[in-house]
Amino acid sequence: MTTPSSELADLRKSYERAELSEDASASNPLDQFTKWLDEAIKSKVPEPNAMTLATVASDLRPSTRVVLIKGYDERGIVWYTNYDSRKGHELAGNPFAALQFHWVELERVVRIEGRVEKVSDEESDAYFASRPLDSRIGAWASPQSQVIPNRTVLVTNAAKFGAQFMLNPPRPPHWGGYRLVPDTWQFWQGRRSRLHDRLRYSLQGGSWVRERLAP
């Protein structure tokens, strides 16, 4: 009888969609990211804006979760969340993190590392005001990462804050944006025979240095 583990071991995929060369890649990682993100959006891959966020607690235990990119520029990559969540507490103790985009259909991965800072209150207020009403109420209703006895707690909280704030809930003081300020980017393009293309951009002396890494 075939066991699940042997079935997993037999899974194979040949990566043949594209290539990533030094000549064809941008000299600035932000430009390369913009190109790939635009292609992911235009290709209609599922949730092209989803990224895995990795943080490390004070006891050195790492944790990951999926968040959504909500903006980026030369200052860094932005997402929004509850400051009192596990990731919020871990970032307060260790303000360094890593992000990863995995666009399976395009056989591409982008990895980003750097220091994390909170965005300004003005930026958080502006984004919060743009969210759907249910999402704004949800930011008040969910004590993110805390143990709750059942789902009724969330539903009850949502009803309570919905009645309290009606159509104009303010941004909760425990909710806002983070910005990862990159010092390292990696771009991975799947290739045949597991000889993948992998380019790393490292910030050295204020300039980006591009290097090829073995896959």
Active site residues: 194
In degrees rounded to 5, what are phi and psi of residue 42? Answer: -65, -30
Instruction: Indicate the pairing of strand 207-212 with strand 96-103.
Output: unpaired
Nearest Cα to Cα of residue 78 among 67, 88, 89: 67
146: Cβ contacts below 8 Å, ≥ 6 apart? 84
Which amino acid is residue 193, in one-letter code?
S
Write down how long the chain is: 215
Residue 6, number of CB atoms within 10 A of its CB: 9
